[in-house]
Structure formats: C-alpha cells, structure tokens
Structure 1
C-alpha cells in the first residue's frame, strides 16, 4: 500500500456503508464481513434480488443497476438515507447461459459484448451518477469497485476473454476518471478498483480446475481481504487498481 494509511473517521469507522451487488458470492460475504466489522454503521445494500435483513440499520433497495432508469431511483432512495462515506460496488459477470469467455475473434458477439459492458461497467457508472449530486466537499468518501486483473492492458499477456477484458478495462478507466473528478470536488476522497483474486463462486466455477493449489480463495477470505484494503487505503492510493493485498496492479 502506498504511503501511510490515513487515520480519519471515514477510514477507521464509516458512519454509513453502501454495498452494491450484495446478492452475489463475494458481495454477500462482504455484506456479512462489513456488518460484523462495523456494527454501529448504517448499512445500505443494492442488488437485483431481495436479501435478508443484516442489522437493525440495514436498508435494502432491489433494483437493476444496469438499467439507466436506476440512476434517479437510487438517487431518490439515497436522498432519504444517511450519506454513505464508504461505497463498495461488487457488480460484475463473466459468463451466463449460452455464453462463455471468448477465446478468439470468431467467438465475439455483439449481444454478449454489450451485456458484459452493461453489467461490468455501467452498473458502476450508474451508481456513481446517482451518488454524485449528493456529495459534499467536507464529507469524506471512499469508493471501491471490484474489478479484475485481466482488465489491465499492460498485464495482458494471454489474450482471449474479449468481452470480459474489455469491459473491465472500461471499468478501470471509469475509476481513474472518478478519482480525478471527485478528487477536485471532495476534500478527502479515495476511489479505487480492487482485484479480489480468484474466489470460489459461480463466476469462477468453470475455470477452477486449471488453478494451481492455493490460488482459489473462499468468499469469506476474499471479503475480509477486500475490507482490509479499503480500511487501510492511503490518500495516494486513489485512482489505482489494487490487488487483494493492497499492492498496485498496472493499468
């Protein structure tokens, strides 16, 4: 992690946490981790499915963030809630019925490409658009989007996985842009993308057989590591893609 972690109240004990994608494998585990780690924080969650109530302060919004109409709906919901000073977005997809990561140009399909961009990038853009008008200069903000190392252009030595790589690269650029715009707008702002490592979820299930021993992590371990990275962010980490141990990954 670059620099010394900033010891402010937003880093040590967020008053309000917003978690999007709270129904997925990592998202659900992260919801449990954050609730246990910060029991006094107001906890807001968003997903396309209902989830069980996690704490007395828990509020949930069932909505599809890839839909552009979600921007105004989420904004109205947030307007009636405490302003979150931690936002974590876990929305993402790799494969679905009738679609697997492409190995060559011949396998690329516009519909699959657009769906990948919609879920892997637009869900994060729409949440940021909903939050943006509510931000205040003197209210610290930490934003973390779950991304992927395969979205790094510099780190790509294998090729393939066109729609996933391209959509995650787009998400990474969104994070870089947000860090610059919100860095000018907010006195204390950290905006990062985090690669959680390969986690034992349905997303990684078809590809786990090729992993070497020790490279597949439980959802609980990944959630704990993500929370650690967010909690220990330094001011000069903003605008970066970080590994699950907090080390930077080249864009």
Structure 2
C-alpha cells in the first residue's frame, strides 16, 4: 500500500500521517511540505517539497510515482497576516480572493490531472480532499467569508466533476470531499472563541474520523461530501 499525504506538515495532515504509520505499518508513506520540512518526523516517511498550486511542481511530483493507492489532500488556506475571512462585501479584495482559489481549489484539480493515470493502476485507488462545510451552498445561512466559501464550493465542484469522469476512465477509484470540523490548528486559531463547547477537535481525533471514512469508501461513494461524523453533506 502506497499513501501520499499532501500537506503532511500541517496540523491535520501530520496527524493523519502519524495515524497511517500506526495503522498501516507496512505501507509506503510519502508526504509533502511547502516551505520548511517538519522536524522529528518518522524516518519511514519520504518527504517531498512541493507547492501544489504550481502545475509544474505537481507534474514533477507525479513523475516520481508509478503506483499510488491513496492520496489525501490536507492543504488549505483561510487567512494570512494581512487579511482574514471577509465579514462583508466591503472587505472583499481581488488578491485575497485569488489566493483562496489558488491555494484551496487549484491543487485538487492539478493532483487529479497528473495522478489519475497512476491511481488507475491501483485496485482501489482513493483521493480524499479536505473541504469545509461552509463551502456548501445549501447550508449557507450566515453569509460572509466570501473568498473562503467560494473556493471551497469550487473545490467541491471539482470533486464532483472528477468523479463523473472517473466513472468512465478510472472506474475502480474513489474521490470524496471531507469536512473535518473545527480543528485546533493554526488555521482555526483566530476563530476558536466562537466555537461551541465540544466542537473544537484535536487533530488526532479528526484524523481517526477521516481515516475511518476513507477506509470504508468505495466507488459508489465517489463524488460525495462527508462530515467527520460520517454524515453526507449537501453541496
């Protein structure tokens, strides 16, 4: 079994990486990081420095594999040091919107493009993508967060569209979108004060929930959107 974790340096990504090492001790594990390679990581993991919003780098990464069973994309973007999610239209910035699309949406499209031929060689290839419930159009009742919502809604559309193509070209493979819930990581840190009691999860808890969903997913689940609880979410 060969597993590639995109963003294995982040809070959720690293927790998934460590859990995979425990649960699948014979698996060949690969993980990516964007800038700084994580310290004190297991020797059994092969690390790749990749900006997955750069097409040439994703192409180069794919050329290092002849076979892959699971790809778990954990990269995500919510805020930078200059701007956070917009509370109103007055806060919208074209540059911030573009950064959300580039970092939240584009990587999955590029990974799908270059890794589909490789996943086809697996008897049960799987691609799991970390999305967010705020990307659900039907579930949007509060408004705001324009760029993040739009980038995740676009991501969800990519997952759905890839699943339709895979029905013809990659029939044994599964692609799903996953909502991890609010996780105690740097990404959610500025927004944790408003999280209801019991709804802020540790990365380890989230990793166990998401891996359980990935394990039981099959091609009939492809193109669907699941919460960490296993509930199917509306687009």
Find the aligned partners of 1:34 and 1:213 in 2 and give their Cα distance.
29
Preserved contact between residue 121 and residue 167 of structure 1 (Cα < 8 Å): yes
Higher relative contact order (CA 8 A, sep 6+): 1
Per the TM alignment, residue 238 of structure 1 is displaced from its structure 2 partner at its CA by 1.1
Q: In the alignment, what sits opposite 1:233?
A: 217
Q: In the alignment, what sits opposite 2:57?
A: 70
Find the aligned partners of 2:87 and 2:122 in 1 and give their Cα distance.
47
Find the aligned partners of 1:165 and 1:148 in 2 and give their Cα distance.
8
Q: In the alignment, what sits opposite 1:125?
A: 109
- Secondary structure of the residue aligned to 2:182 is coil
Per the TM alignment, residue 54 of structure 1 is displaced from its structure 2 partner at its CA by 2.3
Mark the runs of 5 or more structure 2 residues left unpaired by the alignment. none
Q: In the alignment, what sits opposite 2:21?
A: 35
Find the aligned partners of 2:122 and 2:19 in 1 and give their Cα distance.
28
- Secondary structure of the residue aligned to 2:38 is coil
- Going from structure 1 to structure 2, the CA distance change for 1:21 and 1:138 (only over 3 Å counts) comes to closer
Per the TM alignment, residue 186 of structure 1 is displaced from its structure 2 partner at its CA by 2.2
Q: In the alignment, what sits opposite 2:163?
A: 179
Choose which of 100, 108, 112 in structure 2 pairs with 1:116: 100
Q: In the alignment, what sits opposite 2:140?
A: 156
Corresponding position: 1:54 with 2:33: no
Q: Deviations over 1:94-129 (max 9, x none)?
A: 111111100111111010000000100111112222
Per the TM alignment, residue 208 of structure 1 is displaced from its structure 2 partner at its CA by 0.8
Backbone CA RMSD of aligned residues: 1.4
Preserved contact between residue 139 and residue 186 of structure 1 (Cα < 8 Å): no
What TM-score comes out, normalization by structure 1 length? 0.89
Preserved contact between residue 86 and residue 144 of structure 2 (Cα < 8 Å): yes
What TM-score comes out, normalization by structure 2 length? 0.94
Per the TM alignment, residue 137 of structure 1 is displaced from its structure 2 partner at its CA by 5.9
Instruction: Describe how 1:131-210 pairs up with structure 2 within 5 A.
Output: 131-136=115-120, 139-210=123-194
Preserved contact between residue 50 and residue 58 of structure 2 (Cα < 8 Å): no
Runs of 4+ in 1 over 6 A off after TM superposition: none
Q: Deviations over 1:122-160 (max 9, x none)?
A: 111122222123343663211100000000000001000
Instruction: Describe how 1:100-111 pairs up with structure 2 within 5 A.
Output: 100-111=84-95
Preserved contact between residue 68 and residue 122 of structure 2 (Cα < 8 Å): no
Find the aligned partners of 1:64 and 1:156 in 2 and give their Cα distance.
30
Q: Which range moved further: 46-55 or 34-43?
A: 46-55
Aligned length: 233
Find the aligned partners of 2:60 and 2:182 in 1 and give their Cα distance.
33
Preserved contact between residue 120 and residue 172 of structure 2 (Cα < 8 Å): no
